[in-house]
């Protein structure tokens, strides 16, 4: 933030401060929402797997593209594996191998490619999740159909494949819980229809085959729900850390704003002056360029306070601070309150003559407009505000004594006061480094 430079309202820093405070409040509000969601996920035994809407939108946005990419490549690998089962078909259902080729390569593969395109396009959350469910369902149905064409292979090929598909949906693809329930029920329904169609297989055998698959489906759904709860909880913890960091950053900005800006006058604080001057001095050494300092002191300020009160004295300081800012030339010119009624102006890359012109402009502006109006019933004649200025310039080549030019400007200031005030005095010579 630049304190000197172009003329600006004395209230500009208040706008900056309000912006920082607004960002701080927003970060604090988000943190409160996150804390509430963490509490809900931790205290409820079966929490709803959905955040408050604003957090839900952020969660979807953060995970959407990553999930689409992961599900797409996993789907490609699953499709390759599915067609690789043709090798098993050759040995297990050789009599129906042509049917297996037609189903796997001619029917399932084109449908799977279309669904994988939907997954990768990531048009919406529900279309992506349903496309993944569709991959599992058509893989399940096609496998059961091939098993039905040869009833002797159902226990060897069909049921393990159904189990693998359930594992993929719940575990690796990690389909969202509600969609995973739909896909799992669809696969179980297809498996039930398949088993009921095997009339030549004893009922007990069919039941003993169905029960493990149903149990696996149940436990895979439980595992899916737990994994989504853990994923969402981890996301909340990560988001809380990010928001806490953002809140700390905003708070630090607010504190820096307070520490670097004099609240009364709107110019830089003494702390800001020390930081900025150090940088300007180092730059002047590096570039071998002059740096000038103007010390400004309000004349008879104690009398102003005694005659009109401290509130009026504060208004005088506010007016002088605003006028000093208006008198600066370049963006890097810097003004700060040095202490009490004293101000300091830093003019990098500025020689003595140019610095004296800036000081005289400050003096003239204050003489013309530096006295705020008094109330009608003040009862005491108004003492018009003026300032005295001391100017010094240094051409530094050593970093050991940056305070010499400030001391020289201070001595020139006191000479200006001794000569009658409301004037500019310059140091006798350029301060040696």
Residues with catalytic roles: 341
**DSSP 8-class letter at 96:** G
Beta pairing class for 387-394 and 342-348 = unpaired
Distance CA 282, CA 227 (A): 57
Distance CA 333, CA 280 (A): 10
Q: Which residues contact 202 (CB under 8 A, 6 or more apart)?
A: none
Distance CA 320, CA 431 (A): 28
3-state secondary structure of 150: coil
3-state secondary structure of 54: helix
**Is the Cβ–Cβ distance between 267 and 321 less than 8 Å?**
yes
Q: And the tokens for 379?
A: 């009862």
Run of H or E including 335:
strand 334-339
Q: Which residues contact 192 (CB under 8 A, 6 or more apart)?
A: 210
Q: What are phi and psi of 431, to 5 degrees?
A: -65, 125
Distance CA 387, CA 362 (A): 8
Nearest 5 degrees, angle CA 425-CA 429-CA 3?
60
């Amino acid at each position: 933030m630049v304190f000197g430079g172009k003329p600006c309202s004395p209230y500009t820093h208040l706008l900056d401060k309000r912006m920082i405070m607004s960002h701080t409040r927003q970060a604090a509000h988000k943190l409160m929402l996150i804390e509430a969601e963490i509490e809900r996920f931790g205290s409820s035994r079966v929490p709803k797997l959905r955040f408050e809407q604003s957090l839900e939108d952020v969660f979807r946005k953060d995970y959407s593209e990553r999930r689409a990419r992961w599900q797409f490549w996993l789907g490609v690998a699953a499709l390759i594996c599915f067609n690789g089962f043709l090798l098993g078909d050759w040995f297990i259902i050789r009599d129906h191998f042509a049917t297996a080729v037609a189903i796997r390569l001619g029917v399932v593969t084109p449908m799977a490619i279309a669904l994988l395109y939907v997954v990768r396009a990531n048009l919406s959350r529900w279309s992506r999740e349903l496309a993944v469910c569709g991959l599992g369902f058509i893989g399940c149905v096609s496998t059961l159909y091939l098993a039905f064409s040869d009833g002797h292979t159902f226990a060897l090929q069909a049921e393990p494949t159904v189990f693998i598909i359930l594992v993929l949906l719940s575990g690796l693809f990690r389909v969202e819980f509600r969609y995973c329930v739909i896909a799992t029920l669809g696969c179980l329904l297809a498996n039930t229809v398949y088993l009921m169609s095997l009339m030549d297989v004893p009922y007990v055998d069919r039941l003993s085959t169905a029960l493990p698959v149903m149990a696996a489906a149940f436990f895979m759904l439980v595992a899916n729900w737990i994994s989504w709860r853990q994923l969402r909880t981890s996301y909340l913890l990560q988001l809380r850390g990010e928001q806490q960091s953002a809140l700390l950053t905003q708070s630090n900005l607010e504190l820096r704003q307070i520490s670097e800006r004099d609240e009364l006058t709107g110019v830089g604080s003494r702390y800001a002056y020390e930081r900025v001057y150090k940088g300007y001095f180092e730059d002047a050494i590096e570039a071998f360029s002059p740096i000038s300092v103007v010390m400004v002191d309000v004349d008879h300020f104690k009398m102003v306070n005694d005659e009109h009160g401290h509130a009026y004295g504060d208004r005088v300081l506010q007016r002088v601070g605003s006028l000093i800012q208006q008198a600066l030339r370049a963006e890097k010119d810097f003004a700060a309150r040095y202490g009490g009624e004293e101000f300091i102006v830093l003019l990098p890359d500025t020689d003595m003559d140019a610095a004296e012109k800036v000081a005289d402009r400050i003096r003239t502006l204050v003489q013309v407009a530096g006295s705020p109006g008094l109330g009608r019933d003040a009862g005491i004649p108004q003492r018009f505000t003026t300032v005295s200025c001391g100017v010094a310039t240094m051409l530094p080549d050593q970093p050991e004594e940056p305070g010499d030019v400030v001391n020289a400007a201070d001595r020139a200031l006191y000479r200006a006061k001794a000569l009658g005030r409301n004037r500019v005095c310059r140091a006798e010579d350029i301060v040696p480094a």
